[in-house]
Amino acid sequence: MKRLFGTFMAVSLLCTFATGCARPADSVFKMLVGTYTEGNDSKGVYLYDFDTENLEWKLLDTAAAGNPSFIIPSPDRHFAYAVSEYSDGRQGVYSFALNEDRIDVLNFRGGTGADPCNIVAVGESVITSDYSGGVVSVFSLTGDGGIDTLACQFVPGQMLASHIHCSVVSPDSSYLFITDLGADNIYRVTLPPEGRGAPYDFCIAYSFDREMHPGPRHLTFSQDGRFAYLISEPGDYVTAF
């Protein structure tokens, strides 16, 4: 394991997450943008064309949603899923239908813990992670891409100390790795075959020195699956595994 120390600067923009969801040309991508909607004029989710060559973008459509702060496309790019980041009973999960130049709300399900801030698609489910309380929620998907029932919930860490920032599927799709900023741990959860059913058998994969309090935040794997990289807050460094 190697650590690279440095300073990270946060940039506050309307968008809180963006990802390419289609590629109509070599340099033009579809881009999904999730936002916070409380106390401002933001409508929710925005769909853009984004040209990476000349750095120009074009707004195609919007979908009304409450605090969709983290949004992802489905693996087949036909749907999108977003958390609704609240802690007052309004929190939950949105599903959207994606077309060439449209995004439409399919449905919404409540039932997550407080302040869901991350979502990942796994097989026939989506999994949310909560910043407040450290609850991980698994929702089944319907045949038409909507959010179905809450399949299960679990708390991999210590509920009062946990602040989970993300869950990431391992390159072989066998495990879910969960970063806990509050408890300074990375958890490993065994996924069921083909993404059906509830995750099980979770343990601490790596535990940081609490005196350092690095605050593991977002984890990503290298393309060949041999390495993983973690940014930390407030530790302000990158850890390579």
Peptide linkage before 216 cis (omega within 30 of 0): no
Average pLDDT over residues 13-26: 44
d(C-alpha 122, C-alpha 73), whole Å: 12
What tens digit of pLDDT does each residue of 111-166 get? Answer: 999 999 999 999 899 999 999 988 999 999 999 999 999 998 988 877 667 899 99
pLDDT at 85 over 70: yes
Answer whether 21's CB lies under 8 Å from 32's CB.
yes
Q: From the CB of residue 153, how many other CB atoms can be counted at a distance below 10 Å?
A: 16
Please tell me the pTM assigned to this model: 0.85
pLDDT at 148: 95
pLDDT at 191 over 90: no
According to DSSP, the residues that pair with 92 across neighbouring strands are 84, 110
Lowest model confidence (mean pLDDT) among 15-19, 106-110, 207-211: 15-19
* Phi, then psi, of 195 in degrees rounded to 5: 70, 20
Residue appearing with tokens 């990289």: 229
Is residue 230 helix, strand or coil?
Answer: strand
What domains can be seen in the chain, in order of their start residue? Answer: 2-240 (2.130.10.10)
pLDDT at 25: 55
pLDDT at 209 over 90: no
